[in-house]
């Protein structure tokens, strides 16, 4: 099998491109050492797309060795200006290929092309531009005034070779969050996309070459988590690992770091993000943001506003407004084609995740016997993994639907009476990635931001990340931060220097 294949006739969209299938090592697409391949399918219709090569442990170690040589031989000596110029070239190449990259994302993930995939690419452009401008603005450290005859200061320097593991829900966007800050800091990279959604990042390897990236600086190695991901996490040559994915696997990443060389670990894991709607809130605004928070990317979002707590006085009105908001703005395409602009809700990524989401819906409906609102009629016959949004009301805090991350368009709504009561409910979770509150009382809002246990808090909005702000979680939602200045600093380590001047 070649390391490149031609893909065309995508849902009737007039596009044809050459899809890389090989591992991207040392600026070349190569076959895996054991010839192992992974089949990928279109979740909107179940159709087979292509098979790409999967990295073995041997391939992973080779990629790490290549990245290490690239760092030691040349990349560690690049200037901030040189790295900035490279990222700037990538910005323009990404912008030039915006629609093609969005097309590949839609093909591989089922994301609606117009309302989702292109938005993801636009955010990637923001990320590249931010980190392109950050390269020559990194602080070098601090100088300390201590006793006479001593000069003491800190410097920050790259780790060297960094391992990055990205999830399937935002294949290229999550890669961008990690990759460009890592490069701006001066590291070389071995990055593993999800085995479910590797196509867009593999294609991006072509843009890295076109931009003039030196061989070995970025190596893209798709593969299975238990093989490729494990080999990255267990490598003694990596001093830094950044992982985004499930909490279960995040814990394994920490274990493997400890079992190997105690590499520094950044984790962005699961979430069960609450939205609190107080009595004085603008309900139209709250309903709009909540609907977007649970429906965008088909609810496959760690910060999805999947559990809502509403003041008992506005509870029924809010439910009606959320139902109407979803009915008006969040629909599956009538043709089940994510390239049609009449659809804003795509399919669930694969059969396993589809079964997981439908199992939660079954438990809520038939085991816990919760009140259920079906906003749309049952889907007609379709081949894709589509699920219409479902709302469960009057959900007790003990429900498995509140305590677990579902990762689909499933919303729970519960009522509260007092502020103290709702803060306790919000914090009654092992997750702490994000939270939202809707109120016109800014004293109350500030109090909420202080007391809620979450790494990101939105007031009167939800899921509107800012590239310049750090992002990460409390509790079992993760360790460390991405984006903003911390998106570079997390890929730098601090060294203390002591000069004896006597």
Cβ-based neighbours of 452, under 8 Å, separated by 6 or more: 423, 426, 427, 435, 437
Q: Give the span between the Cα atoms of 347 and 197, in whole angstroms.
A: 14
Q: What is the pLDDT along the chain (502 residues), one digit of tens a residue?
A: 467 677 765 555 557 899 999 999 999 999 999 999 999 999 999 999 999 999 999 999 999 999 999 999 999 999 999 999 999 999 999 999 999 999 999 999 999 999 999 999 999 999 999 999 999 887 667 888 778 888 888 899 999 999 999 999 999 999 999 999 999 999 999 999 999 999 999 999 999 999 999 999 999 999 999 999 999 999 999 999 999 999 999 999 999 999 999 999 999 999 999 999 999 999 999 999 999 999 999 999 999 999 999 999 999 999 999 999 999 999 999 999 999 989 999 999 999 999 999 999 999 999 999 999 999 988 878 899 999 999 999 999 999 999 999 999 999 999 999 999 999 999 999 999 999 999 999 999 999 999 999 999 999 999 998 999 999 999 999 999 999 999 999 999 999 999 988 8
| CATH (one of 3.90.870.30, 3.40.605.10, 3.40.50.360, 1.20.1440.60) for 56-269+479-496 | 3.40.605.10
Q: Which of 105, 268, 325, 482 is catalytic?
A: 268
What is the reported pTM? 0.95
Find, among 454, 242, 121, the residue nearest to 462 by Cα: 454
Q: CA torsion angle for 72, 73, 74, 77 (degrees, to 10)?
A: 50
Has 268 been annotated as catalytic?
A: yes
Find, among 334, 410, 418, 346, the residue nearest to 375 by Cα: 410
Q: Give the span between the Cα atoms of 24 and 102, in whole angstroms.
A: 20
Cβ-based neighbours of 242, under 8 Å, separated by 6 or more: 162, 163, 164, 165, 178, 182, 265, 266, 267, 480, 482, 490, 491
Domain ranges of the chain: 56-269+479-496, 273-470
Fold of 273-470: Aldehyde Dehydrogenase; Chain A, domain 2 (3.40.309)
DSSP structure class, residue 385: -
């Amino acid at each position: 099998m070649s390391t490149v294949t031609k893909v065309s006739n995508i849902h009737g969209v007039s596009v044809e491109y050459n899809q890389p299938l090989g591992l991207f090592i040392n600026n070349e697409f190569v076959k895996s050492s054991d010839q192992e391949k992974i089949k990928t399918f279109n979740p909107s219709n179940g159709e087979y797309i292509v098979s790409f090569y999967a990295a073995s442990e041997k391939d992973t170690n080779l990629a790490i060795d290549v990245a290490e040589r690239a760092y030691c031989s040349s990349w560690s000596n690049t200037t901030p200006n040189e790295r900035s110029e490279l990222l700037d070239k990538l910005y323009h190449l990404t912008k030039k290929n915006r629609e093609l990259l969005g097309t590949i994302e839609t093909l591989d993930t089922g994301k609606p092309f117009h309302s989702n995939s292109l938005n993801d690419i636009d955010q990637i452009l923001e990320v590249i531009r931010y980190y392109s401008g950050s390269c020559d603005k990194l602080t070098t450290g601090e100088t300390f005034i201590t006793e006479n005859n001593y000069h003491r200061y800190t410097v920050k320097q790259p780790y060297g070779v960094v391992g990055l593991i990205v999830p399937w829900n935002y294949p290229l966007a999550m890669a961008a969050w990690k990759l460009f800050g890592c490069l701006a800091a001066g590291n070389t990279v071995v990055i593993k996309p999800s085995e479910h959604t590797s196509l867009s990042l593999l294609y991006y390897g072509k843009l890295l070459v076109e931009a003039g990236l030196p061989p070995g600086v970025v190596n893209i190695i798709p593969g299975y988590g238990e093989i490729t991901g494990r080999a990255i996490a267990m490598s003694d040559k990596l001093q830094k690992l950044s992982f985004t994915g499930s909490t279960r696997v995040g814990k394994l990443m920490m274990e493997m770091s400890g079992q190997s060389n105690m590499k520094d670990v950044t984790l962005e894991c699961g979430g069960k993000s609450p939205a609190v709607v107080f009595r004085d809130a603008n309900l139209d605004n709250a309903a709009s943001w909540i609907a977007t928070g649970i429906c965008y990317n088909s609810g496959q979002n760690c910060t999805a506003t999947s559990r809502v707590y509403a003041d008992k006085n506005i509870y029924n009105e809010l439910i009606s407004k959320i139902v109407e908001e979803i009915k008006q703005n969040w629909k599956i395409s009538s043709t089940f084609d994510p390239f049609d602009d009449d659809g804003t809700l795509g399919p669930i990524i694969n059969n396993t995740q589809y079964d997981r989401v439908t199992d939660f819906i079954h438990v809520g409906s038939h085991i816990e016997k919760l009140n259920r609102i079906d906003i749309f009629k049952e889907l007609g016959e379709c081949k894709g993994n589509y699920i219409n949004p479902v709302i469960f009301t009057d959900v007790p805090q003990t429900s498995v639907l509140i305590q677990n991350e579902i990762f689909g368009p499933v919303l729970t709504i519960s009522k509260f009476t007092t502020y103290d009561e709702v803060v306790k409910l919000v914090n009654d979770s092992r997750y702490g990635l994000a939270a939202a509150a809707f109120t016109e009382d800014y004293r109350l809002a500030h109090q909420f931001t202080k007391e809620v246990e979450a790494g990101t808090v939105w007031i009167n909005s939800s899921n509107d990340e800012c590239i310049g702000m750090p992002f990460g979680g409390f509790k079992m939602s993760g360790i460390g931060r991405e984006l903003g200045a911390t998106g570079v600093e997390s890929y730098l380590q601090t060294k203390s220097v002591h000069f004896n001047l006597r």
